[in-house]
Amino acid sequence: MTTLYADNSPLAQAARLRGVGSRSAVAALSENDRALYEAILADEYDYMDHPLFDLPTAEAERQIFDEPDPIDQPDTSWYHPAMSWVDEPKLGKSQTKTMTAAEERVIFAQYNYCRFRVATIREHLVHEPEPDAGSVREMLDWHHRAWAYREQIAGLNLALVLAMAKRVRGFDNDFGEMISEGNMALLRSVDKFDITRGFKFSTYACRAILKAFSRQGMKHSKYKSIFPTDFDPKYEKSNWQEEKNDQHEQDCVDELKRIIRENRAELSEIERGVIERRFAVGDAARTDSKGQPKPLTLEQVGKTIGVTKERVRQIQNKALEKIRMTLEEDFLR
């Protein structure tokens, strides 16, 4: 029977424990969805609880998704040019707009309900002896919806990262690294924020972003204490020896071509033809479709001059010995 998963994969281990005999539902998934399915089953799937989740499914989904007005998707095109201190970010009203408290209650309820459904279906699948195709597909669909809400919330609050970065601008940190660390802190805040406590998301996220900047600053200071000298190209390893070796190799090639061209090694016509064809030097050398020298194999040279490849090898070795002796004599002189 064909094995669909690696023996040490989390899904394979869980399947062995549950005694799964058929994986047709999972086998029908695409490669990406299959990997996502394994990842979801491998770890616990967290969500922030909400009173609406205790209602019957149809009623909960009606209040969470149908009744509220949809929230517009954020325009994050302005965020990318703001990745440098050189050009001060110019944030217009549409760029700095954040959600109202009512909008936050809506979108976080939607986001966490999607995660709640994934966690519920996951718990069901973990204890099922055979995955159900409908349940697997439903769990992945809820996960994709949760991921979309997560990106939407983060996009609507990107301005918080820049606002907090300006507050710590005096720190001796790379701005790009600060923004990256702030973005990660923002995403973690989206996952951990509990809307039922009555606080604005910006209050929670700003503290988390500033704390991330503080950790990065301490890490940077520790690094600077160990490596006080900044990067300087002068201190990089020199490639002088490599360049010298390359030049010496090229000089040897040029000398070899000169010996063959002038026949200073007193090669016979057949020896010279074999060397030129085998190493793509001299008048008898072949070229490829791009006009570059093309060395031939022993068999190809043998077919060209009408001898066996073993005979070509003997001729080649004899010719190379003559060339080597000529090179040594030139060196001694």
Q: What is the DSSP string of 67-129?
A: SSPPPPPP--TTTGGGS-SSS-----HHHH----HHHHHHHHHHHHHHHHHHHHHHHHHHT-S
pLDDT score of 8: 47
Task: Please check whether residue 13 lies inside any domain of the structure.
Answer: no
Burial class (CB in 10 A: 0-12, 13-18, 19+), 246: exposed
CATH number at residue 196: 1.20.120.1810
Task: Please check whether residue 4 lies inside any domain of the structure.
Answer: no
166 and 200 in a single domain? The answer is yes
Range of 105's domain?
A: 44-226
- Give how many domains the chain has, as a whole number: 2
188 and 49 in a single domain? The answer is yes
pLDDT score of 234: 67
- Buried-exposed string 167-189: b where 16+ CB fall within 10 A, e elsewhere: ebeebebeeeebbebbbebbbeb
Q: Which of these ranges, 87-91, 182-186, 236-240, 279-283, has the smallest mean pLDDT?
A: 87-91
Alpha carbons 43 and 36: distance in angstroms, whole number? 11
The CA-atom distances, in angstroms, between 1 and each of 5, 22, 23 are 12, 11, 12
Q: What distance lies between CA 1 and its chain's CA centroid? A: 33
257 and 220 in a single domain? The answer is no
Q: Residue written as tokens 């062995």?
A: 16
Backbone φ/ψ region at 91: left (φ over 0), alpha (ψ -120 to 50), beta: beta
- Model pTM greater than 0.75? no
Q: Are 50 and 196 in contact (CB under 8 A)?
A: yes
196 and 284 in a single domain? The answer is no
169 and 267 in a single domain? The answer is no
pLDDT score of 12: 43
| Position 186 confidence tier, pLDDT thresholds 50, 70, 90 | very high
Task: Please check whether residue 231 lies inside any domain of the structure.
Answer: no
Q: What is the DSSP string of 141-200?
A: HHHHHHHHHHHHHHHHTHHHHHHHHHHTTTSSS-HHHHHHHHHHHHHHHHHH--GGG---
Helix axes 201-226, 158-167, angle to 10 degrees: 50
Task: Please check whether residue 15 lies inside any domain of the structure.
Answer: no
Q: What distance lies between CA 179 and its chain's CA centroid? A: 19
206 and 273 in a single domain? The answer is no
179 and 282 in a single domain? The answer is no
The last residue of one of the domains, among 202, 226, 250, is 226
pLDDT score of 92: 43
The last residue of one of the domains, among 193, 226, 259, is 226
What does pLDDT average to over the chain? 80
Alpha carbons 127 and 122: distance in angstroms, whole number? 9
62 and 192 in a single domain? The answer is yes
Alpha carbons 188 and 181: distance in angstroms, whole number? 11
pLDDT score of 171: 58
Task: Please check whether residue 18 lies inside any domain of the structure.
Answer: no
Task: Please check whether residue 19 lies inside any domain of the structure.
Answer: no
Task: Please check whether residue 9 lies inside any domain of the structure.
Answer: no
122 and 271 in a single domain? The answer is no
162 and 56 in a single domain? The answer is yes
Q: Are 27 and 100 in contact (CB under 8 A)?
A: no
User: Nearest CA to 84 among 1, 177, 199, 163?
Assistant: 177
200 and 274 in a single domain? The answer is no
Q: Which of the residue ranges 33-42, 72-81, 143-152, 220-229 has the most confident prediction, judged by mean pLDDT?
A: 143-152
187 and 53 in a single domain? The answer is yes
pLDDT tops 60 at residue 331? yes
Q: What is the pLDDT of residues 106-163, one digit of tens each?
A: 999 999 999 999 999 999 888 877 888 889 999 999 999 999 999 999 999 988 988 8
pLDDT tops 50 at residue 239? yes
Range 202-225 average pLDDT: 84
Share above pLDDT 70 across residues of the chain, in percent, rounded to a whole number: 79
The last residue of one of the domains, among 226, 255, 289, is 226
Task: Please check whether residue 257 lies inside any domain of the structure.
Answer: yes
CATH number at residue 254: 1.10.10.10
